[in-house]
Amino acid sequence: MLVLVLLALLIPFATSAPWGIGEIANDGCLCHGERNTNTQVEIQGLPDSFEANMTYNFSITVSSQSVPANLDGEIGGFRLLITGGTVGFNSSEGFVQNLENGWTHTEAGNAVRHWNLSFTSPNDNASFVDFTVYGNAVNGNQASTGDEWNSVEFRLPGVQYEGESLSGDNDDFSPLDYSVGLVSLLVLSCLFLITLRD
């Protein structure tokens, strides 16, 4: 039984998704292991607050010191979720797509770590829009192993919004983090009991 548990820990949870990722990534790139702060996810080009019904060009960039870009193939991916407004992108570029109520890279967009989009704000500038972006630095081994992901979450307020702000990296533990920790604790406990018997 212990051998089966150890083997299950060594087998990757899933294969990579170079064609883009849908709702399965709404809580993070869980198939690629734990969140890693070596990977940085940045959004550039959005204002500090939005005017009603305005379009802003912005970009998503993923960078990693420990997972260098593989210029011959897969190097990155992302999943973007917003709570209001609309997102646009240059469909002729072929790097971004709308998928399952969010936005993600395409197979062509998996060969870069920088994606250009636009955001059209809501009509009510006393409202806000929450942005959540999961970014993955990919090593190109055609599997989910060795990749590193992180996320950024922030609130973009309208110019007349007076509520709470929301900013910074999301450092909460994911369900996968708890599962891996629990299984690891069980394995260590079994090993400890086996050692005591000998």
Q: Render pLDDT for 146-164 as a digit per residue (tens, 0 to 9).
A: 788 899 999 999 999 998 7
User: Looking at the domain assignment, is residue 42 inside a domain?
Assistant: yes
Domain membership flag for residue 6: no
Residue 44 one-letter amino acid: Q
pLDDT category at 11 given cuts 50, 70, 90 is very low
pLDDT for the residue numbered 105? 86
Give the three-state DSSP class for 182.
helix
Which range among 46-50, 125-129, 163-167, 174-178 shows the weakest confidence by mean pLDDT?
Answer: 174-178
In a domain, 1, yes or no: no
User: Residue 177 domain-assigned?
Assistant: no
- CA 164 to chain CA mean position, Å: 24
What Å distances lie between residue 165 and 9, 57, 127, 131, 160, CA to CA? 39, 22, 12, 12, 13
Give residue 106's domain range: 30-160
- The pLDDT assigned to 91 comes to 85
pTM: 0.69
Enumerate the H helices of the chain as residue ranges. 2-10, 175-197
CATH number at residue 113: 2.60.40.4060
* In-domain check, residue 150: yes
What is the 8-class DSSP label of residue 159? T
Please state, in angstroms and rounded to a whole number, the distance separating the CA atoms of residues 184 and 92: 47
pLDDT tens digit sequence for 49-81: 999 999 999 999 999 988 887 776 778 889 999
DSSP state of 172: P
**69 dihedral zone (left: phi>0; alpha: psi -120 to 50; beta):** beta
- 61 belongs to a structural domain: yes
Indicate the number of domains in the chain. Answer: 1
Residue 82 covered by a domain: yes
Query: SS3 for 198?
Result: coil
124: in domain: yes
| 84 closest CA partner among 162, 185, 158, 152 | 158
